[in-house]
Amino acid sequence: MPEALARTGPISAHTHPRLREGKAEAMTERVREILSWYGSDNPGTRANLARMLGHGRLAGTGRMIILPVDQGFEHGPARSFQPNPPGYNPRYHIELAIKAGLSAYAAPLGFIEAVAGDYAGEIPLILKANNHELLVGEDPDPISAVTASVDDALRLGCAAVGFTIYPGSALAREMYEQAREIAAEAKAAGLAVVIWSYPRGSHLSKEGETGLDVVSYAAHIAAQLGAHIVKVKLPSAHLELMAAAKVYQQAHVPAETLADRVRHVVQSAFDGRRIVIFSGGPVSADAAILDEARAIAAGGGFGSIIGRNSFQRAEPDALRLLAQMAEIYGA
């Protein structure tokens, strides 16, 4: 049994002295600037944003790395965890996030309930409030089921709630209404809101799901729905929407490099006044992931939310990769 799963108590800065720096909270001028973008929010919500921005190796930098582990629900346990079997245990993931000095840990209700008590206060938690599964196949117009509530997030001591929308789905408008409702409830309770905005549906081509115009549109929609933190996929140079493509071409919007495209996505989220982080996607080689992190940093992105590329690796390999990413974002 791996050491991380064999121990009897939660990780702490006392049992793992190397984490003391990783757990340090920092209120810097950069964090104050970011918080000023959310002036209409109550002090509780802004304090929870500060918790995430002030936690871990990147504390105080305005950058974040978040570990999301909703893939068991979304893709099935074998596909998600068999590549690294310790991942079947919910404790493995939160311990990985703590050891790596990450900004926050995000998961559905069951995984959060399994660990929240033993690890209370050790890392900010994000409760993923909706999820979908593939037992009935991939719907061309997907919609997720609401699987947790703001009350659950409060009961479990979470800093934020997370919610997925699929712009481009025929059911997108229903998801927008759900997202706005849960965002309003979360903010009233002093929680932050993270929106996974993943274009998908019968109105988009597969290539279009990550097209620059579509990803930028998705980031803007999430910001308009009240997200404090917007999660999107890295954009390609493809342009999907004819009317938008004309504008991009006439305005000569830079799109040649990934850094250029990241910069435009961030610009689309209120001219960079919303936190935009980028997902890691399927497992890739370390070098490719680190190159993506450099492009995100160069383009003004706020960091990464990296799931399979961390928990599907053996723990030492994951910790090394996450440390290298933190060095890039903290430079």
Active-site residues: which are they? 231
**Model confidence over 76-123: pLDDT tens digits?**
999 999 999 999 999 999 999 999 999 999 999 999 999 999 999 999
On the question of pLDDT at 12 being above 70, the answer is no
Q: What share of the chain is helix, strand, coil (3-state, %, to 5)?
A: 45, 15, 40
Tokens (6 digits) for 327: 């060095």
Tokens (6 digits) for 80: 């998600």
Residue at token pair 């559905």: 108
**Model confidence over 271-304: pLDDT tens digits?**
999 999 999 878 899 999 999 999 999 999 999 9
pLDDT for residue 219: 98
pLDDT for residue 138: 82
pLDDT for residue 15: 35
Report the distance separating Cα 280 and Cα 17, nearest Å.
29
Q: Are 300 and 259 in contact (CB under 8 A)?
A: no
On the question of pLDDT at 4 being above 70, the answer is no
Q: What is the mean pLDDT of the chain?
A: 93
On the question of pLDDT at 59 being above 90, the answer is yes
pLDDT for residue 155: 98
DSSP 267-297: HHTTTTTSEEEEE--S---HHHHHHHHHHHH
On the question of pLDDT at 21 being above 60, the answer is no
* pLDDT band, residue 20 (cuts 50/70/90): very low
pTM for the structure as a whole: 0.93
* pLDDT band, residue 130 (cuts 50/70/90): very high
What is the average pLDDT across 64-81?
Answer: 96
Question: 266-298 burial, b if ≥16 CB within 10 A, otherwise e?
Answer: bbbbeebebbbbbbbeeeeeeeebbebbbbbbe
Cα 110 to Cα 53, 73, 91, 297, distances in angstroms? 25, 10, 12, 33
What is the average pLDDT across 5-12?
Answer: 44
Q: Are 225 and 178 in contact (CB under 8 A)?
A: no
On the question of pLDDT at 159 being above 50, the answer is yes
DSSP 88-132: GSHHHHHHHHHHTT-SEEEE-HHHHHHHTTTTTTTS-EEEE-EE-
Give the chain's domains with CATH numbers: 30-330 (3.20.20.70)
